Amino acid sequence: MRFVRLWSNGFRNLESGWIDLDAKEVFLVGSNGQGKTNLLEALYTLCYGSSFRTNALKELAVHGERSFKLVGIYSGDDGYEHTLELEFKEGKRSISLDGKLVRDRKELIYNIPCIVFSHDDISFVRGEPEARRYFFDQTMSMYNGLFFDDLRRYRAVLRQRNLSIKEGRLDLLPIYDQQLARYGIAIQGERTRTVARFNEIFPALYKKISQSDTEVEIVYTPSWHACATEDEVVSHLAQHRERDRIMATTTSGIHRDRFVVSSNGQSFSQFGSTGQLRLASLVLRSAQMAFYEEMAGKKPVILVDDVLLELDHQKREQFLGELTPYSQALFTFLPDEHYTSSLQDGGALLYTVCEGRFVRGQG
């Protein structure tokens, strides 16, 4: 599957109109601030109904406006072309697929699997625990609808439980504890299995691309590490109810799980150089691609946004050479950036980007 065309109106600084994207590789070349990343963001927003740069859709509208619209035509695995439309107007988002209103964003996730490589991905290695939880939850949600549902339900119950604690309605907690345990223990199990498989992919890939003997792995530490059943979780929550009351929040659960990129028993972020951490974040995304293809049997669309600049030429070639096969890839480059041999393809599309305009070839 791949995007064939994109139409935008009022989105960031993109010039209104259609852009042809019907190629396996699309190269976007231009100086910073010209609109390269905005195009990738538009595609991502169509795939997931949200941006990878902001949680506020109103920020995606061109400066001074309050609305925008995106239309994406993509070729599906069924051999037919499909139309995705997303409009933000009067503070509300509406999405349709082939003219049918999408009422739940869950319906979007499995249409066009999309993975973005962005500068902020380094937070998966050295950022706060929330960033790594997000990465692994996103990874599992891309192919596992049951996990997605469990995560959504867990969060809903967690909100209700926290509200009850703050309002002093502690008599409701036993009910919420049962629900939290049911969804949480399922999520914990899926996270455990996913990390085990990631550790069969990520360490070897990092060694190969970095051309070093550095040992890295993902260490998963569940908040309920001593609990293996729903009953054990319920008991744990009951034992710590007074602590929750004092702290006015639920102090244990899968929302407090820890994922750490570790090397020889230490957090890699504590001693790895910026270059090593950047490379590790890229390899995590590559491992995500490989894991997704293995679990879903599909190749994703990838959006690679200015993340190769900090790699030397040799590591860049090694990284690109090890990318799991993708259905389509869009890359952003600066005007003077070296094009690697790994990306040379006579069928690739090349755009020069200037002030939101996309001109075929090097203008």
- Amino acid type, 350: L
Distance of CA 26 to the CA centre of its chain: 20
- Bridge partners of 11, per DSSP, are 61
Token pair in block for residue 150:
């469990």
Which CATH number is 311's domain given? Answer: 3.40.50.300
Q: What is the mean pLDDT of the chain?
A: 93
Containing structural domain, residue 88: 1-113+299-363
pTM score, whole prediction = 0.92
Asked, for residue 28, whether it belongs to a domain, the answer is: yes
pLDDT at 338: 64
CA atoms within 13 A on the CB side of 218: 33
Distance, CA of 118 to CA of 113 (rounded, Å): 16
Asked, for residue 152, whether it belongs to a domain, the answer is: no
- Mean pLDDT per 10-residue section of the chain, whose length is 363 residues: 96 96 94 95 95 94 93 92 96 95 85 92 94 96 93 98 97 97 98 97 94 94 97 98 97 98 93 90 95 93 88 82 88 79 70 95 62
CA atoms within 13 A on the CB side of 299: 12
Asked, for residue 86, whether it belongs to a domain, the answer is: yes
Number of domains in the chain: 1
Task: State what percent of residues in the chain have pLDDT above 90.
Answer: 82
What is residue 320's DSSP assignment? Answer: H
Asked, for residue 145, whether it belongs to a domain, the answer is: no
pLDDT at 318: 84
pLDDT at 281: 95
Residue 63: CB atoms within 10 Å: 7
Asked, for residue 32, whether it belongs to a domain, the answer is: yes
pLDDT at 312: 79
What is residue 175's DSSP assignment? Answer: H
Asked, for residue 343, whether it belongs to a domain, the answer is: yes
- Bridge partners of 20, per DSSP, are 5
pLDDT at 363: 43
Asked, for residue 252, whether it belongs to a domain, the answer is: no
pLDDT at 112: 87
DSSP conformation letters of 98-130: TTEE--STHHHHTTS-EEEE-GGGGHHHHS-HH
Asked, for residue 54, whether it belongs to a domain, the answer is: yes
DSSP conformation letters of 180-234: HHHHHHHHHHHHHHHHHHHHHHHHHHHHHHHTS----EEEEE-TTTT--SHHHHH
Distance, CA of 165 to CA of 280 (rounded, Å): 40
